[in-house]
Structure 1
Amino acid sequence: MSGATLRLLDRAEKEILKLPRAVKGAIYDFQHKFRNDPRNKGLRFKQLKNSQLYSARVNDDYRALLLHAGGTEYILVAVEPRGEVYDHLDRYRYQINPVTGGIEFLDLVVAEEVVGGNGNGRPQPEPRPEPAPSPEPVAAAPLFAAYSSEQLLDLGVAEPLLPLIAKITTEDELLGLVSYAPQLTGEVLLALHDGASPEDVLEQVTAPVAAEEEVDTEDYAAALARPATAVTTADADLREVLEQGDFGRWKVYLHPTQRKLVERDYNGPARVSGGPGTGKTIVALHRVKHLVDRLPASGGKAVLLTTFNKNLAADLEQRLIALAGEEVAARVHITNVDKLASEIVAESERGRARRRLDDEKARKEWDDLLAEENETRWDAGFLHEEWSQVILGQGLRTQAEYFRARRAGRGRPLNRADRKRIWNLTERYVMRLENNNLSTLRQVTERAAQIEAARARDRAAYQERQADSPKLQDESGMRLRPRYQHVVVDEAQDLSAAHWRMLRAMVDPGRNDMFITGDTHQRIYGNHVSLGNLGIAIRGRSSRLTLSYRTTHEILGTAVRVLGGEQWDDLDDGRDDLAGYRSVLRGAVPELRGFSTWDAELDGIVQQIRAWDGDSIAVCVPERRMVAEVETRLAKEGIVACAITADGPRYVEAPVHVGTMHRFKGLEYQNMIIAGVAEGLVPAARITRFAEEDPLRHRRDLRTARSLLFVAVTRARDNAVITWHGTKSGFLP
């Protein structure tokens, strides 16, 4: 044969990433040569003892193990030291999983070693001397003794691992196996260990990835085509894996469970929730590609992809181009919701633009008004949020409407007299803004929602007239067409009610109209909404992702403890929690370090960055002033760093990024320092005064502060270091 197709099994990718850099380069050269001519004498390609396994030379010291899938199809399943490939071939197992139909490859020796704590299957340093032996402990019961082999196999567990699973007695042993086992095996075992019943595991874990047709366990060509067999094929894809590692790959990887959500045909709006690192954004991006692929070839930007802030929108654009290419991205309008609202208002009210105020400046206007009115019952923050979230958020036009309005999640109760006074104050506030030719972002969003709602009503009226008179055609028909055929929203938890009313009006209700991803545990801007009350009915079309592909088990554990057992909503008048949220990744336990002063903490930050000696490093802090102070100290020490602004990092290539916790929303880094997590900073000291005068508001502010720290900790992929000076935050374990 003159050429062959070579695919790289995902399990092999993960093992290859642990190899020396020179070996990785040799692997890239090898696979390119193999595809051109596997019979090249320099490759020393040969079959191993009448099995479907073949070996081929990578370099003098390493050999590639290849699984023959029929014809000219081969799968690279492992790269091993030369001496280990030809000895004890019975250590290798390969099979087609009868449940998923995917190809699985196992090295039973490595599996035994990772369960025993030797995570890479290689010799480890000599252990430290043990203290004098204590009395023999009672033998622990195997963790999975309650489940029969048949039950485990029905759930999709890899059969060659059953004897090893039967011997597991500790969580550390379980996590060791999960780090190596096929993904479904790991997910099933973790779910059972977390207390889920076999029936629930079958429904929630196994069924979403099960093959839809009967599986022929001898047909490797068919198995290659199934989503359960995750492989890399192209040279460029392999080069990206070798250069960026698993950190680069996971950003575009689609698990079979996620693929079903992406490709499903929904009879209306759909929502996908899940904790940090579960792939919500990946699902949203693949959903966009799926929708664009189904559009007619001609046409403009028929899909809207939107999120809360500017730097997230910029990140989404870069990732969509990387995933789907410029041609797909050209059919998508990618922007943040506030910019979208501003564009709509500017388009509708040409020549009447007002100067825009951000929330901080809007609160300053409230402060000035309250001083003029000698009003002391309410502070500027409370009134700004009441006006923004309740009055503007619900589109209230009259005092009577405000008297009847629900104030869910607002905390401090208001009687009729309170509401009357607040209404009068908001009227004066609005007049004050108008007299100074000012408007807030919330006002702009509310105005955009009104414009789009009116446009939707006109469109519906036109469609009714057209139904009565089929030949009716006029300019209004073109002008009133919906702005988009599909709307995809990422980081949905931070959008306001006005944002949602605007988006709802931009697309006609119907099949696949809206696709929404988010996690209310990461809500950091205080917007509480019920989608059902805003015309976005997601009941029966909500899904939840529970497996983290980014956050390690250890980082996840620390982050969840930060939340402190608080309750969160699900964007639809229900409750959301992190039950079943788990990670199959293992890593270093986050380090918690205290310092006497902020200056000493800055020294500690410098030392840690130097210890990591790489890129994809970030430092996040609770206050804006601290960003400049960190930047200054790093520059003084010769460390190149840049701040993350509203538009993203000023200099993306800088090895270290610095920003406030808010700026890290939606981003991820391999190494994170979360600094300044001290009493009085996290949470901010200013909220303590509400503990007595407005306990509900105090609790809400504490919950938001916990969410912000939760977001910060879960930005870390591999390593997290949390520091403080003085007294550590009460949120920390």
Structure 2
Amino acid sequence: MSMQDKATLRLLDKADKEIRKLPRNVKGALYDFQYKFRENPTNPTNGFKQLKGERLFSARVGEYRAILFHAGNQDYILVALRPRGQVYEHLERYRFDINQVTGALEIFDVVASEEATGTEPPAPEQVPAPQPEAEPVPAEAASGPDQTGPAPESPRPLLADYTEDQLRELGVADGLVSLALTITTESRLLGLVEYAPRHTEEVLLALADGRGFDEVMEEVTRPVAAPEPVDTTDYDTAFTRPATRVTTYDTDLQQVLEDDFAAWKVFLHPTQRRLVNRRYKGPARVSGGPGTGKTIVALHRVKHLVDRLGPGYTKPVLLTTFNKNLAADLRRRLLDLGGQQLLDRVDVVNIDQLASRIVSESGQGRQRRRTINDQQAAREWQDMLTELNERTWDADFLNAEWSQVILGQSVRTRGEYFRARRAGRGQRVSRAQRADIWQLVERFTMRLEERGVWTFRQVAEAAARVEGDRAAKIAANREREANAGGQMLHHQDQSFANLRFRYEHVVVDEAQDLNPAHWTLLRAMVDHTDNDIFLVGDTHQRIYGNQVSLGSLGINIVGRSARLTLSYRTTREILGSALGLLGEETWDDLDEGTDTLRGYRSVLRGPRPFFHGVDTWAAEIDALVARIGAIREQARAEGKFASVAVAVPVRDMVGEVERELVRVGISAASLGPEGPPSGHEESVHVGTLHRYKGLEYQHMIVAGVTDGLVPNANVDRYEDSDPARYRRELQMARSLLFVAATRARDSLVVSWHGEPSRFLPKQVAQAEKSTPAPEPAEEGFEDGGLFKPPNALL
């Protein structure tokens, strides 16, 4: 390598965990070192020297030395940072291998892996109960053959059903195969994979989750397997393999140094790339829990579709979602991904704004009707029922029936309503009852028209009709051409002959939030063809109550669904607690089946969540203000900024928390429909549970998780009168809590006053309110669910 050429210093996957634990001054020295090193690695000030073999080097980083692996050409990988006197003793800890299945370069600490699997205490169920004192057994008797009964059975290894050859075939790192087959508890397995190469981690966790050999081979290994036989001595080629897990640019290393949670993937995981690049014979769906990369997959899918189309299209791809603030975030991220050239070819818009645009273009918008939301519509329903002295039907039920069934399926006549499917609605209605409902709906729509208002769902339904008419004309034109032997027909109305669908492809983020009218609109805007609709979402995060059956709306995803299970944002500790909040409910899959978070897991570690109850709301506010003060003080001492948010169940609580924070000198701002207010990015954000969809914070406090507030006490009125609705309302309340909890990247507090919410596990409900929670076992709710706060906080 030329002395004058610049080098690239990349970070070994998982080495960031050790770097974050180092003192601030060492991180600062490393920050300076990376710039000097890439200018000239062999500069004498770097103390650059060879350690052993042709690949291993070290360089001076203050009082530490960096262990570097020369990957080829001018690329170096930072393996670890060690005090000067410990460099050589640590060299024997590492293995530098090329995986025989993936062809990837793998560097891992064998000793750390072994220590992580052997230092944990036994799980509670394995600790024997205390026995009464017995007479001592003479030494000679103790050694006799018949002094004891049968020896206790050893715990069965988690992966006892697999052989070493099978693990190697799946691509498990050769140096960890034997160790993996001895693991008997999940916590020890988590200790092993914390230091293992990423592909080994994913294979072992997938097997432990109960996924079979063939399934893991197909979903985890095959996407990253080398297409040709692997040369285990060719490091230059290994470094270029997709499965070689290092940061890509020096800026990634800078992010790791500046942000404790910047270990995250900049590029797609190979398994995700397979979903992005695949050709689908119709609509396709990708699901997954919070932080699994669904949005990243959607963004890359957009880029892939645009690249395939080539020039000649203005905005051929639609990227849409429900929330306005999420749509703005998608636009920014798409710009980062592909620049202005990509953004210019994609229509990135909130679904309701798109519907309004279509209605306006069609001329229907000239009526100048003001748009109202679902809550306002429900109040209008209630006012009308009161005026009519109608007590048979509930206003919320009628609003949902009108919105989801009648508007959602573009039902235009009473006869069509008699035949309409009511998938997901729960409560059965007879033909006579449908006639009564239809009469009330007609009255209600006239009432809105007289007041000069209409709902967002009415706008979406009107837009769906416009696009449906266009689609019908296109189909009719195609039929005429087919009947004419494929010859183009000359119409007097040339615009009719030249009609095209509005988009070539549609991509939807947070798909679970869209209502039936939205889906009817989207189906009408794109042809029934390959790669027509691609949607990502998680019904466990449905917070708006929009139940749909995509198949009944012409969007058939059967056989074209995939699930992401690896969270890159939420720590393992927070994830275990958040999953406990979902209870034993089952969720739909946006169709006639069920969805699950089975196998959902995190690669990150962090402090355990803290669950805390007090007697009054005032005391709860005092506790959360004290915690926020401690977080900010600790961040200032470290020269960092810490993002903090407080989520509460009702709007009145937002103002109370915000005022108390401001009173003690902590900048705070409430969240609105568009997200954080401008100029308050570094304030503590306070909002209702609904406001946190799509956001994330280092520190999250979910307060007011009190019986009667979460869920709201009004839900119980449906328990006997409408059990299906009662279940849906409880699910939505659980989802709200789940979404808020999984916004946390670093620490999570869940607090309450008075009686805790029924959604919290029994162990929490029975805990002493005024005393700190005891230290739990590693697995969160499964082992008690009570968590101790991190030091210096609360």
- Measured against the shorter chain, the TM-score band is over 0.9
> Which amino acid counterpart does residue 20 of structure 1 have in structure 2?
P
- Aligned equivalents of 1:49, 1:223: Cα separation in 2: 20
- Aligned equivalents of 1:639, 1:521: Cα separation in 2: 34
2:724 aligned with 1:696, yes or no? yes
- Per-residue deviation at 1:472? 5.2
Indicate the residue corresponding to 1:123 in structure 2. none
Indicate the residue corresponding to 1:503 in structure 2. 522
Indicate the residue corresponding to 1:83 in structure 2. 85
Summarize the alignment of residues 533-612 of structure 1 with structure 2, pairs less than 5 Å apart. Answer: 533-612=552-631
Retained in 1: the 8 A contact 2:13–2:198?
A: no
- Per-residue deviation at 1:117? 5.3
Indicate the residue corresponding to 1:157 in structure 2. 172
Secondary structure of 1:394 counterpart: coil
CA 405–470 in structure 1, closer or farther in 2 if over 3 Å, else same: closer
- Per-residue deviation at 1:517? 0.2
- Per-residue deviation at 1:368? 1.3
- Aligned equivalents of 2:179, 2:683: Cα separation in 1: 43
Secondary structure of 1:334 counterpart: strand
Retained in 2: the 8 A contact 1:314–1:647?
A: no
Summarize the alignment of residues 413-432 of structure 1 with structure 2, pairs less than 5 Å apart. Answer: 413-432=428-447
Retained in 2: the 8 A contact 1:8–1:231?
A: yes
Number of residue pairs aligned between Structure 1 and Structure 2: 720
- Aligned equivalents of 1:85, 1:53: Cα separation in 2: 11
Once the two structures are superposed, residues 357-393 of structure 1 have per-residue CA deviations (whole angstroms, 9 ceiling, x without a partner) of: 1111111111111011110111211110111011111
CA-based RMSD: 2.6
> Which amino acid counterpart does residue 55 of structure 2 have in structure 1?
Q
Retained in 2: the 8 A contact 1:11–1:77?
A: no
> Which amino acid counterpart does residue 74 of structure 2 have in structure 1?
T
> Which amino acid counterpart does residue 560 of structure 1 have in structure 2?
L
Indicate the residue corresponding to 2:187 in structure 1. 172
- Per-residue deviation at 1:67? 1.6
Once the two structures are superposed, residues 432-474 of structure 1 have per-residue CA deviations (whole angstroms, 9 ceiling, x without a partner) of: 1111111111100100111111112223334455664448597
Indicate the residue corresponding to 1:376 in structure 2. 391
Which of 298, 301, 306 aligns to 1:292? It is: 306
- Per-residue deviation at 1:233? 3.4
2:744 aligned with 1:716, yes or no? yes
- Aligned equivalents of 2:75, 2:573: Cα separation in 1: 39
2:654 aligned with 1:640, yes or no? no
Residue range with higher mean Cα deviation, 596-605 or 465-474: 465-474
2:677 aligned with 1:650, yes or no? yes
Indicate the residue corresponding to 2:790 in structure 1. none
Retained in 2: the 8 A contact 1:252–1:282?
A: no
- Aligned equivalents of 2:25, 2:84: Cα separation in 1: 16
CA 23–297 in structure 1, closer or farther in 2 if over 3 Å, else same: farther
- Per-residue deviation at 1:478? 9.0
Secondary structure of 2:204 counterpart: helix
- Per-residue deviation at 1:499? 0.4
- Aligned equivalents of 1:235, 1:710: Cα separation in 2: 36
Residue range with higher mean Cα deviation, 516-525 or 646-655: 646-655
CA 14–478 in structure 1, closer or farther in 2 if over 3 Å, else same: farther
CA 150–364 in structure 1, closer or farther in 2 if over 3 Å, else same: same
Retained in 2: the 8 A contact 1:616–1:671?
A: yes
CA 176–86 in structure 1, closer or farther in 2 if over 3 Å, else same: same
CA 452–723 in structure 1, closer or farther in 2 if over 3 Å, else same: same
Indicate the residue corresponding to 1:515 in structure 2. 534
Indicate the residue corresponding to 1:678 in structure 2. 706
Flag structure 1 segments of 5+ consecutive residues without an equivalent: 120-130
CA 159–260 in structure 1, closer or farther in 2 if over 3 Å, else same: same
Summarize the alignment of residues 379-398 of structure 1 with structure 2, pairs less than 5 Å apart. Answer: 379-398=394-413
Secondary structure of 1:39 counterpart: coil
Once the two structures are superposed, residues 18-73 of structure 1 have per-residue CA deviations (whole angstroms, 9 ceiling, x without a partner) of: 333333333233233222222211122222122421112222x1222222223333
Retained in 2: the 8 A contact 1:617–1:656?
A: yes
Retained in 1: the 8 A contact 2:289–2:597?
A: yes
Indicate the residue corresponding to 1:125 in structure 2. none
2:214 aligned with 1:214, yes or no? no
After TM superposition, the runs of 4+ consecutive aligned structure 1 residues lying more than 6 A away are 131-138
2:298 aligned with 1:279, yes or no? no
> Which amino acid counterpart does residue 342 of structure 1 have in structure 2?
S
Which of 455, 461, 464 aligns to 2:476? It is: 461
Structure 1 or 2, whichever has the larger Rg, is 2
Retained in 1: the 8 A contact 2:113–2:193?
A: no
CA 466–80 in structure 1, closer or farther in 2 if over 3 Å, else same: farther
CA 413–52 in structure 1, closer or farther in 2 if over 3 Å, else same: same
- Per-residue deviation at 1:475? 5.0
Summarize the alignment of residues 287-366 of structure 1 with structure 2, pairs less than 5 Å apart. Answer: 287-297=301-311, 299-349=313-363, 350-366=365-381
Once the two structures are superposed, residues 600-646 of structure 1 have per-residue CA deviations (whole angstroms, 9 ceiling, x without a partner) of: 11111101212222422111111122112211111112111222211
Which of 13, 21, 41 aligns to 1:18? It is: 21
> Which amino acid counterpart does residue 85 of structure 2 have in structure 1?
G
Summarize the alignment of residues 68-217 of structure 1 with structure 2, pairs less than 5 Å apart. Answer: 68-116=70-118, 140-217=155-232
- Aligned equivalents of 2:411, 2:356: Cα separation in 1: 20
> Which amino acid counterpart does residue 401 of structure 1 have in structure 2?
E
Secondary structure of 2:645 counterpart: strand
Residue range with higher mean Cα deviation, 8-17 or 601-610: 8-17
CA 77–323 in structure 1, closer or farther in 2 if over 3 Å, else same: farther
- Aligned equivalents of 1:480, 1:631: Cα separation in 2: 54
